[in-house]
Amino acid sequence: MKPTVRRLALAATALAVLGASACTSGDQDVAAKPTKIEKIGLMVQDMSNPFVSAMDKGAKESAAAIGATVNTQDAQLDLANQNNQIDAFIQQGVDLIVVSAVDESGLQPGIERAKRAGIIVVAVDTPAKGADAVIMTDAVQAGEKSCEYLFSQLGGKGNVLLVDGTPIQTIRDRITGCKNVLPKYPGIKVVGQQASKNDRASGLMVTTDMLTATPDVQGIFGMNDPSALGAVLAVEQGGKSGQVKVTGVDGSPEGVSELQRPGSPFVGTATQNPAEMVRQAVQVGQDIVAGKPPQRQTILIPSELVTRESVGQYAGW
C-alpha cells in the first residue's frame, strides 16, 4: 500500500473509532427516567397573574395526591430566569418539570438538558419545544367562542378592537380564533390591534391609545381576562359605558366578578382551566413513569363560554 493511501486509511479508521466512542459516551450521558414521581418542579411565567396562582394550586393538589413535593418558580416573564430555574431543578434532582414557557423555542436547550438528566418535562398553557407532552386549552376555539359571542352581541355589525398580548403560541392562537369568525360577520370591521403585556395596566394603556385614535368603536376582544378588564377601564374612563361591549378569555375569578357587576361593559369570557392543565401534566408524568407515554404529543382541553346569563352555573377555577 502506498504511504499516502495508507495514511488516509488509518485516518478514516481513527475517525470511525472516535465516532463510535462519541456515540457510546453520548448514550451514557443520558440518565434513566425516574421510576416514581417524588419531586415536581413547576415553572410559571408570572405569579402576579391569577391564572398562574391557579396552576400552583393544581400542582399542590396533584403532588399531595401522589405523595410528592412541589417547588414553584416564577420566571417574571424572563427567559433567562427559566433557563436558570431548569438548571436548579436538575441540581435538585426533580423527577418532573411542569413548565409554562416564556419562549417556546428559546427554552429548548434547557429542556434538553433536563431530559438528558432523566427528568420528564411537560409543557402547559403554551407549547415548549423538546417537551415530552403539551397540555393546553384549545386556544383557537377559545378565541372563536369569545368573538362569536361579541360579534353576535353587536348585532353582526360595528367596529372592534383587538387587545393582543405577548407573542407566544397560545395568545397567537386566540387572536387567530377571533379572526376565524370574521368571515361570518361581514358587517364587523377590525379597526385596531395592539399588544398588551397580558395584564390589566397595559390593557388599559393600549386600549386607551386605540380608542383615542379610533373613537368609533362598538366592541373589544381582549386575548385574556386581565387585558380585557384593562379595556373595560379604558371604556369607562373614556365615557363609553353602554356604547362598547368587551369579551375576554380565561374564565378567571376577576372575570367572573366583572360579569356579575351591574352595568359593566364586560359581557363574556371563554374559559381556560389552569389547575386542570397541571393536574393532567402530572398524570402524564405518572403515565410515562409507568411506561405509557401519551398517544398524542399535544393534549387540548376544550373551552366553554361564560356570559352574564350563565355565570351562576360556572364552577370557576
Q: What is the pLDDT at residue 20?
A: 39
- CB neighbour list of residue 97: distance below 8 Å, 6 or more residues apart: 40, 41, 42, 43, 86, 89, 111, 114, 119, 120, 121, 122
Q: What is the pLDDT at residue 169?
A: 87
85-123 confidence digits (pLDDT tens): 999 999 999 999 999 999 989 999 999 999 999 999 999
In order of their start, the domains of the chain are 39-136+274-301 (3.40.50.2300), 139-272+307-313 (3.40.50.2300)
290-312 confidence digits (pLDDT tens): 999 999 999 999 999 999 999 99
Q: What is the pLDDT at residue 235?
A: 98
CA–CA distances in Å: residue 182 to residues 157, 175, 304: 11, 11, 19
Q: What is the pLDDT at residue 48?
A: 84
**Residue among 247, 12, 67 nearest 142 (CA):** 247
Regarding beta strands 39-44 and 96-99, do their DSSP bridges make them parallel or antiparallel, or are they unpaired? parallel
Q: What is the pLDDT at residue 50?
A: 82
Planar angle of CA 174, 110, 297, nearest 5 degrees:
50
Q: Which residue numbers in the chain have pLDDT < 50?
A: 1-28
Q: Extract the C-alpha cell encoding 153.
A: 352581541
Provide the 8-state DSSP code for 235: H
Q: What is the pTM of this model?
A: 0.80
Rounded Cα distance, 178 and 236, in Å:
24
Phi, psi angle pair for 75, to nearest 5°: -80, -15
Q: What is the pLDDT at residue 116?
A: 97
- CB neighbour list of residue 173: distance below 8 Å, 6 or more residues apart: 139, 140, 142, 143
Is 181 in contact with 141 (CB distance < 8 Å)?
no
